[in-house]
Each structure stands twice: as structure tokens, then as C-alpha cells.
Amino acid sequence: MLLIDCPHCGPRDEIEFSYGGEAHVVYPEDPSVLNDAEWGRYLFYRENPKGDFAERWIHSGGCRKWFNAIRNTATYEFKGTYAMGEKAPTIKEGDAK
Ligand SMILES: [Zn+2]
């Protein structure tokens, strides 16, 4: 069983959570000036690294709040979670939470 540490509720079973994609994708300052390619890049293009990655998650089976997490995409290990608006925790290699 994988536990995910909701910043609002504490550790809970992974089945209570839903993935929300890449974190920290900034909405364009003035979307009306973007051409179709730029708008498409904002909507659909995301990073896909192997290793630590900042992601959005929602505790859909609990508090229903969104939060961010640093997760290793190769090992599925959650290295830290933080509430929306908070700064990402500093993750050192080998740290686990
Ligand atoms: Zn929660």
C-alpha cells in the first residue's frame, strides 16, 4: 500500500487521491495574444522527466483539496507534499517522506 501525505489530513492510502498533472504550469498573462501553436503548447505540452517531478494531486476521497507533490516518476516514491501556494520543499537525493 502506498501512503500519500496530504498536507491537510496527513498520510492516507493512495486510493483516496487523483493525479492532476504537472504542477506550476502558469496561465498565460494575456492569452488573447497567443497564436494557436502557443496556446496548444500551454494546453497540452508537459514535461515528462524520469526522476523527481512536481505534480498536482487532489485528495478526492478526503478533504477534496488540491496540493502539490514531488514524486519520483521512475520509483513512484513521494518525496514531499506541500499545500498550494507554498514553496516546494528542498529534496536531497535519498530523502524519503
Ligand atoms: Zn486531505
pLDDT digits (tens, 9 = 90+) for 20-30: 999 999 999 99
- Kindly give the distance from the C-alpha atom of residue 9 to the centroid of ligand 1, in angstroms, as a whole number: 4
- Whether 91 is covered by a domain: the verdict is no
The whole-angstrom separation of Cα 81 and Cα 69 is: 4
> What local confidence, expressed as pLDDT, does residue 94 receive?
55
Contact in structure between 57 and 19 (CB atoms under 8 Å): yes
Residue 36 is inside which H or E element, if any?
helix 36-44
- Whether 97 is covered by a domain: the verdict is no
Question: Which residues span the domain enclosing 65?
Answer: 3-83
Domain at 19, CATH number: 3.30.2270.10
Domains of the chain: total: 1
- Kindly give the distance from the C-alpha atom of residue 90 to the centroid of ligand 1, in angstroms, as a whole number: 22
The whole-angstrom separation of Cα 97 and Cα 95 is: 7
- Kindly give the distance from the C-alpha atom of residue 60 to the centroid of ligand 1, in angstroms, as a whole number: 8
17 SS3 class? coil
Whether 2 has a pLDDT exceeding 70, the answer reads yes
> What local confidence, expressed as pLDDT, does residue 95 receive?
54
